[in-house]
Structure 1
């Protein structure tokens, strides 16, 4: 079940040129443009509806989705971030399935625009958010599930030192079919100084 309380907006969380913050109404159009411009780059990694009712990302206004995502904060079930590089929106990072009670866990997913890929932006954003989830929200466990073909995403969890828990077969409907995912996990206390500090040391 969710945390059972509203999650506070943490404001801007940053390290150097990379930052994350909760999605705002004004992010709807920049995100739509990025999704439209990055069709070839993102399509093979995007979730789809098994019944074929998916809407092509970037083809419609993002404002209804922003409304849904922001409701997650009030419900205590998720934290929808945008990723910033030099102050510009370059992607999204979503914390979902936040659970309180005996679980104290969450799942994390992300994407960035192709024009900034390969600069370590995603890795830094993930580290910033994981430090917040463990240090401020007090969660015990964070999962990141990645398709085995997604080399750039696999390098993110490798750089951060997450442990590999195994493969989940036919786990999520992605790009028109049920796809296997590799599950990587971080536990509170795995990086005592924090994941951002671990990344800077590396």
Structure 2
């Protein structure tokens, strides 16, 4: 695989309680364990996946693809770690995907959280840490996200970070094997720059 050993341009981003960085080979065991333990929790919110998607070969292909996409500037994948006294603990992941330049200047935000870490505010902090990178470094104009109508946790994550509801999309994404309606949220540069500054990410 050409370019496997080239550096990944995805940065390391830190907040008071979290660290975001690109996946690495040594993260495989923790990633597999967290995804496997959270399967029933994640299943209603994600495209269908199987045990084969958790094997080392699939993880290696994911890393290689992520590095290629980051170098092309089309997608950026982050693992999310909580800072603890014993070191960093993997708790979930985020993606900036489908980056469009020229007249569009937008991308799509996605994220997932391991079941035992949900509801503690870690994802809200992580999205807040990601936003300066999106607007100030990538210099994009609009970040959009979509979630299932009953997913109140995702709604809270986005609202806490200044996203606004823009609409409703029928049969928007295939989730758990079925085409599902989604609520559409977005944050524009204008809203990002106008939001109150509190000193928090």
Q: Compute the TM-score of the two structures, normalised by the length of structure 1.
A: 0.85
Identify the residue that residue 3 of structure 2 maps to in structure 1.
none
1:43 aligns with 2:38: no
Identify the residue that residue 152 of structure 2 maps to in structure 1.
151
Give the alignment partner of residue 55 of structure 2, picking from 54, 60, 83. Answer: 60
Given the superposition, is the C-alpha separation of residues 199 and 89 from structure 1 closer, same or farther in structure 2, using an over 3 Å criterion?
Answer: farther
Gaps of 5+ in 1: 1-6, 49-53
Cα deviation code 1:98-138 (max 9, x no counterpart): 11111111001001111111111001111111221001110
What is the CA-CA distance between 1:29 and the residue it aligns to? Answer: 2.3
Identify the residue that residue 131 of structure 2 maps to in structure 1.
130
- Give the 3-state SS of the residue equivalent to 1:189 in structure 2: helix
- Give the 3-state SS of the residue equivalent to 1:200 in structure 2: coil
Q: Which has the higher contact order (CA 8 A, sep 6+)?
A: 1
Counting matched residue pairs gives 189
Q: Compute the TM-score of the two structures, normalised by the length of structure 2.
A: 0.86
For the aligned residue pairs, the C-alpha RMSD in angstroms reads 2.3
Gaps of 5+ in 2: 1-7
What is the CA-CA distance between 1:150 and the residue it aligns to? Answer: 1.0
Maintained 8 Å contact 2:142/2:189: yes
Given the superposition, is the C-alpha separation of residues 176 and 161 from structure 1 closer, same or farther in structure 2, using an over 3 Å criterion?
Answer: same
Inter-partner Cα distance in structure 2 for 1:140 and 1:191: 9
